[in-house]
Chains A and B, each alone.
Chain A
Amino acid sequence: MTVTSRKVRSPQPTKNWLRMLGPGLVTGAADDDPSGIATYSQGGAQFGYALGWTMFLTTPFMIAIQMVSARIGAVTGQGLAANLDKAMPRSMLFGIVGLLLIANTLNIAADIAAMGDALRLVVGGPVLVYIALFGIGCLAAEILIPYHTHSGYLKTLTLVLFAYVATAFTIRIPWGQVLAATLVPRLSWDRDFMLMLVAIFGTTISPYMFFWQASLEAEGRKLRRKASTAAAAAALPNRLAGKDSFRIGIDTTAGMVLSNVIAFFNIVTTGATLHAHGITQIGTAQQAAQALRPLAGPLAFVLFALGIVGTGLLAVPVLAGSAGYAVAECFGWEGSLELPARGAPGFYLTVAAATLAGLGARAHAARSDPHAVLERSGQWRGGGAVDGRHDDRRRQL
């Protein structure tokens, strides 16, 4: 499209609004990764609709803290690790980034495993081949496709989240009960309830989301600066006060609301099916999909399982990318998904190492305990997404 043709076209408000969506939307959608879906499904299976209110409580806090990270990236043109370096001792920064790297690697392992298992549930075939294809495919996309193109794919992939909303509408849900449980929160001091509450909060607000959104805002600023004229570059600080601030608000709000709406539907769906039929313990998202099949029918099962694959495709690049940005900024390396691999070798090595270590951890777990990786991932992610009860789960399924 030429500049002239762009000028003569009439304004398209919907298109303009969609153009505002980007880092915030993708970050929010990536929060509903297969590990997250496993946690929400476990919450619904174990406690029915009793935890639905948590999604409404956390939404404003998520929006605020993600807007904080986005603002840091947009204003400074640097990611979170580079900025934290200015505010804390380096040893502490190394500790934080090290923990992020371990957590993200375990999360990638759990997500790739879930994607492979979910695809096998739907089409059959060898799970290890699917796992390898997903892992290598995600890595290749990150390395070979420049960020400005890749971000378009990731934005489109967010639509897959609506599979979980569609699943809810394939079954009968007592909306009156859901509404009552949501509007009148129940808080029990029971240990299992508290553990699940902790797991849900820890899953909803995750550190990798801060690092990712800040880095993407910094990327966006660099791209805009490169594309703009000298006069526009000089006006950039004023954009941050007005136009960009508004865009970050809209984008982040849309992403976090989408994330929590999907999680809410997930809790409701598993509450109305698994919990209502006495299945109160599940270990993974694919186990939830499998358990749904006899209770909710083949359509709900397929939608749920394909949702796991889609959200995994969205989340793995986010997890690996956020680790790459954090490590690169920590060591002062050049780091950008926009650069070719030879332009940022340290950054891409970290992205590759996180993804391949995740693949390796999954392959090892396949020979030992397939639930162990997911369990460790949840604990590192910030609250023990799945606590140490996987043996009971397997018995009950």
Chain B
Amino acid sequence: MVAMMIVVASYKIMGKFAASRALMIGGWGATTLMAVVVAAMLLTSFGG
């Protein structure tokens, strides 16, 4: 998801169609949510 966000923000790859600010906020929000979820999974799996 992080790599996707880097791609969609890249003017080199997306040209003038790089993501808008609103889409970037939503996309990074989703990425952060999943990062928290993965951290929680690791904590619950190995934290006992």
Contact = CB atoms under 8 A, between A and B. Distances in A.
Interface string A46-88: 0000000000001011111101110110011000100110111
A64 B17 contact: no
A201 B33 contact: yes
Interface string B12-48: 1111110100010111011101100110110111000
Given A65-B1, A71-B19, A383-B37, A87 B26 contact: no
A84 B3 contact: yes
Contact of A87 (B13, B19, B31, B33): B13
A61 B26 CA distance: 6
A54 B21 CA distance: 25
Interface centre among A65, A75, A96, A240 (most CB of B within 10 A): A65
- The dominant DSSP class at the A interface is helix
Nearest to A83: B7
B6 A64 contact: no
A75 B41 contact: no
A198 B41 contact: yes
B14 A67 contact: no
Nearest to A194: B44
Interface residues of B, number: 31
A75 B14 contact: yes
A71 B34 contact: no
Interface of A: 58, 60-65, 67-69, 71-72, 75-76, 80, 83-84, 86-88, 96, 191, 194-195, 197-198, 201-202, 205, 210, 237, 240-241, 382-384
21 contacts: A60-B29, A61-B26, A64-B23, A64-B25, A65-B27, A65-B31, A67-B23, A68-B5, A71-B19, A72-B7, A72-B13, A84-B4, A86-B12, A198-B40, A198-B44, A201-B33, A202-B37, A237-B17, A241-B16, A383-B37, A383-B38
